Structures are given as structure tokens and as C-alpha cells.
A and B are shown apart, each in its own frame.
Chain A
Amino acid sequence: MSVKSEPITINLGPQHPSTHGVFRMRVTFDGETIIDLEPIFGYLHRGSEKLAEERTYTQIVTLTDRMDYVSSMLNNQGYILALEKLANIEPKPRGVWLRMIASELQRIASHLVAIGFLIQDLGAWGTPLTYAMREREKILQMFEMLCGARITNSYLRPGGVFMDAPVQFWDALSEFTQNFPSEIEELEKLLSSNEIIFSRTKGVATLTAEQALNASITGPILRSTGVDWDLRKSDPYDYYDQIKFNVPTHTAGDNYARYILRVQEMKESLSIVKQCVERIEPGPIRPHHDEVPNLVKPPIGDCYSAIEGSKGELGFYLVSDGSISPYRWHVRSSSLINLTLLKEMLVGTLFGDLFVTFGSIDINMGEVDR
């Protein structure tokens, strides 16, 4: 006796709690197996790139906060680097060290969110997410000491940062760098050898290095396929060429490799923070107003500058027509480009693996739609 079956198309999102924002997918199932998938985005489009055309260069820093709202320091850094390249601004050393410390802390915070929500998507409701958020809270409090805000920082300015770090920040930072290794160890003890996580993530949604390179995927997803590509190492910006750190890679390219890679990257980021604290010296944090005025007017031209964001290559393209606001501002957002291989990853897997893969890609809808 045979049962007649036919594929069924289901709409997922945009208001689905597991899609990490307002993301919509049109998924076709055969039973429980995915046979087709079409990502649809644009539900969080706020027109940041167009808004920037009528704002001054310093005001755009506030727009970058709202793109990838779990790693706003890194967005600030990427934008400011592009602006410094365009306007030939020489940054002050203390400002650069401070923004390196801030952006590495932000990378840790972003990876903690990624891991926490990946495990949450696996079905471990609450517990690992709470541990991850507990650590992230300490970082956000340090950001509040630095710049008065936890998420929308706007800490960086052309040529450095807007204000020097207070004394209590250094105390909190030294306490954090002391305690954080044991917290990672705890998180790893909880998760990295768990059989349920093994069976749900190992060998699921595998990518090869060739596929990832052809789709210009960057960040932890590319490194999990075995490609040693990190812009901090291969095209150093700020003072990353003076810092010793490793770029962890994995060869499996599956969900578990992406998870374990993020854990290792957090350890590397912590060692970068420690080295920055050792190297930082007193001095001015940003150029004087006579050198870099509030209204920056870059010469006519264009530039592209990219940093290694928490989710991949975060690039900013600026075109200047010599006025106080850019003629065009474009963002190469890593989340959007990392989503392009979603279909290749997921066709052939089961329905339950869909959201796990989604968590392991670690997208942020604010950055996808901008």
C-alpha cells in the first residue's frame, strides 16, 4: 500500500521568534525534508545609506550603531577607518588602542550572543543563553562607563575616540580579563562535549571551502571551512600588525565547527585585549579641533575600507564630492552576503536543522537590510 504525497510550501516569518529579527523564508518540504528554500528580506529596511547622504560625516557614526546592533563598536570602527582613509586623518595612538580594546570586547559580546542563541535555537531554553548574557552584561557595563550607552555607543570619532576611558573602566577591564577564561571554560564544559549538541550540529549544513569562496562568504563561516582568511592578519588595519594572535580554523564546515570556532575566537580576542592594555600609553585621544574640525570635509574622491567584523568582512564605501556630507555611502554587510548560501546549506536537511543553521550563521537583520 502506498500513500500519495506531494511537496508543501510553508511561509516562515517575518514575525517568527527564531528568525532573529524580521526575516522571511519560503520553504518547500517533502515530508520533513527541505527541498527548496527562498530567503526574502527587506522588512527592516530603514534607508540608512540614503539617510547618510544628508548627514555630516560625524553624524553618520550614529547611523552605523543601528546597523548591526549587537556589534556597534565594530561598525563604528569600520566607518571611522573609511573616513580616515578618505580624509587623510592621522589618528592619535591612544585613541587607536582604545578603539581596538572596545572593538575586541564587542567581538566577544557579539560571539556570546551568537553562541547563546544558537544553543537556544537547539532547544536548550534559557540556561546557556543566561550564562552567555551574564558575561555580555559585564562588557555592556564597561561600554556604559566608556561612552554612556550600552548598545548604541557612538564612541568613535574621526582620529580616535571622543573621551578618554575613566579609571573605573580599567578596574572593570582587569577584573573581566582575569575572570573571563574560567567563564569560557564553564561554557565549554556545559556545551562542547554535550552529545545532544553533537548529534544536532555535527555534519549538518556542511559547506566546502570552494562553495564559500565562490559566494564571497567571510568571517567565522569561511574560517570553519578551512580557509585562513582574517582581515586583521591579511590586511591589517589600526595596530593589529603589532599584536600577536592566531587565526583559528576548522575544516569540517558544519554547524559545530562554526560554534567551536567562535569559542576559540573569543579566547584570541581576550588575548588581544590584554596586549592592547599593556601597550596603551597616555596621550591625546583625538586630534585637536584645529586639525580635524567637527565638520570634516574630505577631498573629492572615493575609498573602500574593510574590517574584520564579528560576522565577516564589514566594508564601507564612501564617495565624497568635497562637501560636508558624502555623495554616496555603501555598506558591504557581511550578514547579507553570508545569507546567500542558505539554500545550498539547507536543501536535504530536516526541518529541525533549519533554525539551528540559522543560529550558527549568526545573522543580524539590522545589518542585512540596513
Chain B
Amino acid sequence: MKRTTTLLLVILLVFLASGLLFAKGEQEKKVQPASIEFWTTETQSDRVSTIQALVDIFQGLNPEIKITVVPVDENDMPKQVAASSAAGNLPALAEFGSENAIDFGSSGLLDTSTATKIINSIGKSEFYAGPLKMLESTQSGVYYAMPYHGWIQGLWYRNDWFKDAGLNPPNTWESIEKAAKTFYQPSKNQYGILVGTKAEVYAEQCFTQIAISNKARLFDKNGNLVFNSPQMKEAIQYYAGLANYNPPGPQTWRARDYYIQGKMAMFFYSTYIMDDLALAEVAASSLTGKNFKELKGAQFDPQLVVHTSFAPIITHKQPSSYGVIVALGIFKQEKAANTAAAERFVKYLYGEDAYVTFLHMAPGGMNPVLKKIAASDKFMKDPKGIFEKYGKKKIEEIIAGLESIQRFGIVEGHLITAYGKIFSQQIIPQMIYKITQEKMDVDAAMNWAEGEMKKIVNK
């Protein structure tokens, strides 16, 4: 009896002590009042309302903190940040693309220690590796900002055609070329693949993934131009070869319509295509059914979503995927309370409910960077029911493409600023156009492109 009483007393004491300790901890964590701004690049009114609703809930839970949502056009973000940095009133938190994050981070505007702390508290292994790598600073393990969402590009293909022809999924150079060749039957008005050959951004997006899979780069980490390399030449030759299986003439993203019409085996596209493949009302603009009922592929094919698979990673000398990562960045603040408030809000945004609500603003376009969210049932239930049409396994596979996402403009945590100009001058798309459409010799076209790039680098 006595032993039992002593045991009960000990348990009670342990319980009380831990209770006291916990209470002390809570008191330490107690939030200081703060009023901060959150700049977001989601400027569409419906998205602003969703974000405002998330903020309202957060404020309800944290009455000491006040957050003002400020929509900023993504193209204006660098300008606005520069202006407000000069005025000394940077927002505590902002959402922007990874290129911006590195730009701001390397200029010393971002609070890297808080960002790194948040990433570590969530757990690095919880994130897909690609997005983290894109935001890592020159110092290993230190991050400029926290990845939040992104889209991935890859090859969308007809799995039923591939199965009937006994072909492997198009995720290596060999399997892509073989499939493109097999399904290229122009006499039947059917084409093997779509790669960009018009002098537009789309061509650069398709080509980047191929080039990186061959370890071809534009710059080394010191910013030296290393474009004219054997790897790059090999990638260009391979890409030009694929273009032979394209629909006739120079092509750009719009030719994805031919896939939706059942006239093409595969095409490069981002995850923004997911609703076009799954929903008749979205696909309507790619079909001719309204005016030309008798044409082949004029009507919506509800089975297309089932018969479509996605190969986000292309492997040759290394695996490569292409995409855009949008990050949350905490700007350095004078008041510690502002930083603490931003940190608290970011952690809330990473919570399952808030995160899924945020991502569902653009199903397919905004994908989670946390593996567990990609696998969660809540994420699968988007308001339009797009994901359920694909099935959980396929969605997870699609998002897993974030694992090896890379860009030409970021080399080992260094942003190569000259790349932005090369990109906007469309030098690579023009080179691709010269080779595939004007039949210019590959060496001559590469020399031309290198000359143009040097003009920018040396300026």
C-alpha cells in the first residue's frame, strides 16, 4: 500500500514538474506584438482573397500579430524590393521566385539564419532536394529563403500507345528518341514529339532539361562562359534530331493542342497542363469540336487523362528536371519581434491545412515542396477534382520531379546575372531555330550563339 502511495506521489510530482517546465517554455515562446507586411506575387483577386483568409485565421490564433497582405507583380518585385530597401522599410516576409531569392540573398537583404532555422526545424529530409538546392547560399547548409511551391516540366506521353508498341517510358535519351521515331507517322497526320523550335522561351525550357541531363552548362560557378563544350554540342545535335519528329514547321507550346486532339505521342510541358487534360471545359480551347465536328480529334477524350503519363526526369549522363521554384523569404528586420512574427507565420503556412489551401489556388501549377504534403489525402482533394482524375500515385510521381530540378542560371548556389540577359534575348531559342528551321550547321550556329553571349557577358 505504502509502495503504491509513494509511486503515485512520484508520478504526480513528475507530472507537476513537467507541467511547470512546459508552462515556462510557453512563456518564453510567447509572441511579442508585431505588425508586419507579407508581399505576395499571387496578384489575381481570387488568390489574394484566399491568402487573406489564411492570414485572418492566423491572426485569430495569434492576436498579437498583425499581417498586411501586399500583392506585388512578380516582374516588379526586384524594383519594389530595391526601393523599399533604400527607404529602410523592407517587408518582413515575401514570396518570390528562386532567381530573385538568390539575387536578394547575395545582396545581403535576406535573413538567412532564420530561413535556415525554419528549414531545419521542418527537417531537410522532408523537402524535395531540388528546391532546397536552388536556394542554398554559397555557404553549404545555409539557405537564402524557404522553398514553398513550384511547377515542373517534363514529357507528357500516351501510356496506352507506348504499351501497345512495347516501349519504355520516355525518360532516357534512347527511349525518347525511339518512341518519337516509332510514333512519327506524318502520312497519318500523327507526330512523335513536340519540342520547341520557334525562337521563343518554350524552346529554351525544353532544351534546358535535355542539356542539363548531358551535363552541359552555360556557365561555371565563377560565371565564366562555358557554353561551347562537347556536351553542349551533343545535346544540341540530339535536340535537333528530336525536332525531326515534330509537326511540320517551327513549333511552340501551342502545338500541345495536337496531343489533346490525339495526334501526337508526347510533348514537353509544365504541370499547368493537368487541368487541360482532365477537364472538358478547359480542353475546349484546344479542340475543334465546336465548329468542325467531323475532324479527327475534334471532341474531348475523357480517357486521355488515364492514358497520359508524365516523365518529369530525363536521364542521360545525370538525371535532370526543369521547373520554377517559388520561395518565402524573410528580410532582415530591425525589430526582432517582426522576425519572430514572420517565422511564426511561415511555420503556420507550412502546416497541412494552410499549405493545401494555398496550393489549391492553382492545382497543377503550384506543387508542394514537402514530400508528406504531396502524399496527403487532403492535397489530393482539390476543388475541381483534377488530382483525383489522375490518381494519387501519378500525382506523387509528377511532383517527385522536384527532386532534381535545375536551371542554367544557378550554378552551385551562384546566380549568374548575365544569364538573365541571355534568356531574355532568346539567344538559345534563336540558335535552335537557325539549326532546325534554317538548317544552319550546328558548329556555325553555336559559334553565333557564343558570340552573342560574349557580347552580353563582356558588356
| Binding between chains A and B | no
